[in-house]
Chain A
Amino acid sequence: EVQLVESGGGLVQPGGSLRLSCVVSGFTVASNYMSWVRQAPGKGLEWVSVIYIDGNTYYADSVKGRFTISRDNSKNTLYLQMNNLRAEDTAVYYCARDFSHRQFDYWGQGTLVTVSS
């Protein structure tokens, strides 16, 4: 059975940092494209970042230079390091398997990040 379980969300002050984790079972993270997608409260979906099988990484303009996607192959885990957080980064963050051209077939349950003073 495929499972993606995110953790690491919480309340953080503007300018602060958080690292989100996504532990995957049922498939190998390193053999798949993996993305983070977020959803602000009451809003729509927004793609955040992707890591390719070859390790290349790409980001939405809104987070470029502040967020870093990575993976630990030994732990089959995906990460999102978020620095210099802003109020507009407040959202539920989902990890998802990108099976073909940014189309996502497996999603985690999401973890809420709240940026507020």
Chain B
Amino acid sequence: QSALTQPASVSGSPGQSITISCTGTSSDVGGYNYVSWYQQHPGKAPKLMIFGVSNRPSGVSNRFSGSKSGNTASLTISGLQAEDEADYYCSSYPGSSTYVIFGGGTKLTVL
């Protein structure tokens, strides 16, 4: 049950687009479409931004999108805004298991 691999940090300027990667294996990310992305501001609870690889919950801006290719999932944020500055975590559920694996988290800085 190794953690998924995310870059420690990414940055971008307001209005730009950034992509955060999340790399696992064929047993988790690559094998099933149960990848989620969470946004966490300091001192706050995580917030679901993407589920099922590419689905947005009601109320989440369409500036956030998710995708997957092979064993790597990606979160793309377009039109960066100051309020997007936060930590982002991916997760993957290895089908037929009972646990979930999280990535180590990526700190997004909006310059």
Contact = CB atoms under 8 A, between A and B. Distances in A.
Interface string B70-98: 00000000000000000001010101001
A1 interface: no
A102 B91 contact: yes
Interface in B46-105: 46-48, 51-52, 57, 89, 91, 93, 95, 98-105
Interface residues of A, number: 21
A100 B45 contact: no
- Sorting the interface of chain B by its residue count into under 10, 10 to 19, 20 to 34 or 35 or more gives 20 to 34
Interface in B14-73: 32, 34, 36, 38, 44-48, 51-52, 57
Interface of B: 1, 3, 32, 34, 36, 38, 44-48, 51-52, 57, 89, 91, 93, 95, 98-105
Interface of A: 37, 44-47, 50, 58, 60-61, 94, 99-105, 107-110
